[in-house]
Structure 1
Amino acid sequence: TPELPATPDPEAPRAAEAAPETAAAPAETTSAGEPAGDSEMQGLVKELLEEKKAKAQGPRTKRLRPRDVWFQEVFSEEYLRTIPASIGERTEQEVEFIRKSLKLKRGSRILDLACGFGRHAIGLAEEGYEMVGVDLSMPLLQKALADARQRSTNVKFIHGDMRELNFNEVFDGCYVWDTSVGYFDDRTNLRVFQGIQRALKPGGRILVDVINRDYVVRETPTRLWWEGEGCIFLEESEFDFQTSTLHAKRSFIYEDNSPPLEQNSYIRLYNVHELRQMLHVAGFNVLEISGERFTRGYFLGASSRRVIVLAEKRARKDTM
């Protein structure tokens, strides 16, 4: 099974449940009491009146577009069918990369943020680390807990939103793997890093793995297919240069002739400069950048499929 640059990894989290949309306002007239001349003007007047009403009533729930909440549909029981048979071998290699990068002694407490079904957390727990996994997808967490019990491994799995971390200097290290950063807008993605910074002890380390924007730009649009559990997947992806967002449309075709299913994902991709700058603003010093898990410490620009950044929590007196 290919490692797909356009595909959210099974380890990635769902975001928080979307707030319900507010009821649409009734048809309005212009301030002079006359109907607007066309549909565009009517829409504009409607927006102005709603804005005026919102200011008078106080804060309102933000109306979310479908592309802002795609993760509510993707990370479900259905998503577990996409896990490739070769995931075990890949996990062993990634666990080794994470362990060597963080360079933490056995017994250190590590946060697996967006832990999914816990494949890395379980592997590191077996290496002697105290592991905590946080994810918002209950189906993935249930599988993680079942797998940990089957392997007699102790991992604390927490059902939570990566945007709302409330830990304070309790972890020696943290990793966010397989492009679990980028589901939100830039301000929210920064807030995630700031939450991690608060959760780490002084000198704590973070390892972030994302798809390299510069690599994806050269490779898209793409069309790929592969086999899953009782179904075949077709994935088509394209890159939006205005927003640096990768849009992937995945179609499920089932062997039992069940109705096909279609899902969409929208991920904000970062290049190495943007990711480095965001980590700096969040309070980290970058220590090392890699382009692949098997070429640690080497980054080859647009030729590297990944941007894997190792950073350390900056001391308060360190302003550089």
Structure 2
Amino acid sequence: MLKTIEKTWNEFWAIYWRIDHRHSIPGIFEWDKQLVNFIEHVCQLSPGARILDLGCGGGDQAKVFASKGYEVVGIDIAPPLIEFARQQFQKQGLKSTFIVGDMRAINYNAEFDACVVLSGTFGFFGNGEDQQLLNSINRALKINGKVFIMFLPVGKFNKHSRLWSETKDGWELNEEWFDTETSTYRSRIFIIEKDGTILRPKDELGYHANEGIRCYSIPEMKAMLSK
């Protein structure tokens, strides 16, 4: 008989999804380097610039920024990811500040030269709170500060897909679809271990067991950024 176990974001899925899964993607670390190079170019970052990294995860991009001499403050809601980032920076002798916190609660005033929101982190909260987050980012930036946001565009996900992949302990099913009524990308993930145990995310307040990310058109983003 199959057994189903629900695990919270902090006890399992944060490390599984943002570290183990991400680091298994071929070429991901080279992609991080190219992304940071691109951000440097388009944001015209000055040497030693102070950067706020919201939803920093395990600090992969923060590590590239820090290795180039930038001062990085990383914030993520998941304690295991912040602990992982701190350990990685310590091992490599890099300096940075990592804080466990909800990006919606940031309260900085003209302290950063740039802010980055990467890896599909923007859009978790929906129109109203996403706008509030942008307003908080604006307050956190110095005069002429820059913001770089990777958001999911409308139309990127236009079909219902199910993808099976093999893991070291069994199999993973990732289901994705686009909710046209709310313009939201949604996904569900299950892991079936070799002994038949099914792992699934547990619903918990403040986290996204079944992920939903609001997708925005370019005109929508321009309108939000201009407010």
Structure 1 length-normalised TM? 0.61
Other-structure match for 1:199:
140
Alignment of 1:1-320 (within 5 A): 75-79=13-17, 80-85=19-24, 86=26, 87-217=28-158, 220-255=159-194, 257=195, 259-263=197-201, 264-281=210-227
Q: Give the Cα separation in 1 of the matches to 2:43 and 2:182.
A: 32
Counterparts in 2 of 1:129 and 1:229: CA distance versus 1, 3 Å: farther
Counterparts in 2 of 1:196 and 1:221: CA distance versus 1, 3 Å: same
- Superposed CA deviations along residues 183-202 of structure 1, whole A, max 9, x for unmatched, are 11211010111110000001
Counterparts in 2 of 1:271 and 1:148: CA distance versus 1, 3 Å: same
| Count of aligned positions | 209
Share of identical aligned residues, percent? 33
Deviation at 1:237, TM superposition (A): 1.3
Deviation at 1:231, TM superposition (A): 4.1
**Residues 84 and 228, structure 1, Cα contact 8 Å, conserved in 2:** no
**Residues 178 and 211, structure 1, Cα contact 8 Å, conserved in 2:** no
SS in 2 for 1:175: strand
**Residues 75 and 137, structure 1, Cα contact 8 Å, conserved in 2:** no
Paired amino acid for 1:224? L
Gaps of 5+ in 1: 1-69, 282-320
SS in 2 for 1:128: coil
**Residues 71 and 265, structure 1, Cα contact 8 Å, conserved in 2:** no
**Residues 66 and 94, structure 2, Cα contact 8 Å, conserved in 1:** yes
Asked which structure has the greater RCO (Cα within 8 Å, sep 6+), the reply is 2
CA RMSD of aligned residues (A): 2.0
**Residues 213 and 269, structure 1, Cα contact 8 Å, conserved in 2:** yes
Paired amino acid for 2:82? L
Larger Rg over CA atoms: 1
Deviation at 1:262, TM superposition (A): 2.3
Gaps of 5+ in 2: 1-7, 202-209
**Residues 152 and 214, structure 2, Cα contact 8 Å, conserved in 1:** no
**Residues 99 and 124, structure 1, Cα contact 8 Å, conserved in 2:** no
Paired amino acid for 2:198? P
**Residues 111 and 174, structure 1, Cα contact 8 Å, conserved in 2:** yes
Q: Give the Cα separation in 1 of the matches to 2:12 and 2:32.
A: 21
SS in 2 for 1:121: helix
Q: Give the Cα separation in 2 of the matches to 1:268 and 1:74.
A: 24
SS in 2 for 1:215: coil
SS in 2 for 1:90: helix
**Residues 81 and 228, structure 1, Cα contact 8 Å, conserved in 2:** no
Structure 2 length-normalised TM? 0.85
Q: Give the Cα separation in 2 of the matches to 1:116 and 1:226.
A: 23
Other-structure match for 1:301:
none
Deviation at 1:81, TM superposition (A): 3.0
